[in-house]
Amino acid sequence: MNHISEASIVTPVRPSVQSSGIETMPRRKQGRVNHADTPAQEINPRLRSRVRHILHCSKKGRSVRVPAMRGSEWGDFLRALEVSRGIN
């Protein structure tokens, strides 16, 4: 008993999805938002200690698990990492 059916190719119908050689919709360039740098003193001390831990582990060659963070915390974390690496 053969349960394999014939394969069919599903193609998109809308012209904006089709990959024809002609562009139907003009493409917009995505703009970049520049934010001001956060001063190092305003970064949460808990995040700064996490950054020190990560830098210590990277110097020792150990792997580091970075926990999930909110977007604002992630930005502060990256800023603290940038500041810490600039100092050392």
6 is a domain residue: no
Coil, helix or strand at residue 16? coil
Alpha carbon distance 18, 53 (integer Å): 49
Identify whether the C-beta of residue 85 lies closer than 8 Å to the C-beta of residue 51: no
32 is a domain residue: no
Q: What is the pLDDT of residues 2-29, one digit of tens each?
A: 555 565 676 656 655 555 555 566 778 8
Amino acid identity, residue 60?
K
Q: What is the pLDDT of residues 70-86, one digit of tens each?
A: 887 888 888 888 888 76
Report the domain count for the chain: 1
pLDDT category of residue 35 using cuts at 50, 70 and 90: confident
66 is a domain residue: yes
